[in-house]
Every structure is written in C-alpha cells, then in structure tokens.
A = this chain, B = another copy of it.
Amino acid sequence: MIKASVTVMLKKAIFDPQGMAVKHGLDSIGFKNIDDVRVGRQIIIQIDSNDFGHAEEEVKEMCDKLLANPVVESWSHTLELMQ
C-alpha cells in the first residue's frame, strides 16, 4: 500500500482570500509578527499498489484530471510505503 500526500495551493500570483482571513484572525488574537498566510488543500490517498513508478504516474494524472485546477493552482506530492 502506498500513501500519496498531495498538497494543492493557489499559485503565488493569485490572491488568497482564505489566507488573508486567517492572517487577520491571527492578528486579532495577538499574533502581530505574521507576514503572510496561504491556505491550500492536503489530500491523502491510499493506493492499493507497491509499484512506486506506477503510483507516481497515477498521482500526476489524478492531479491533472481532478485534484487541482491548473489555471490557478499548483501542486506537489510525496509518496511513502505504508506498513
């Protein structure tokens, strides 16, 4: 079993209202030294396979086809074997 951790974030050039809201919230409860906050999605996928090469290709295809919006989002991922 392979565990794929996919992180999808808005591209740097894209305004992130959710991150801005969190930044303001943190500021209002006393955290004054926050420069920037960005909020994205973390998607954990358990793939029933032990073939890392195939899983790698699958994850890329999943991101392109369903998990991320390539117009405004970028994504990264890691794979690890689950015991």
Using a CB–CB cutoff of 8 Å, the interface residues on chain A facing chain B are 1, 7-9, 19, 22, 25-26, 29, 31, 33-49, 58, 61-62, 65-67
Contact = CB atoms under 8 A, between A and B. Distances in A.
Contact of A41 (B42, B44, B45, B66): B42
The count of identical subunits is: 2
A47 B35 contact: yes
Contact of A38 (B40, B44, B62): B44
A37 B46 contact: yes
Given A33-B48, A62-B31, A22 B43 contact: yes
A49 B47 CA distance: 39
A31 B39 CA distance: 27
A72 B67 CA distance: 24
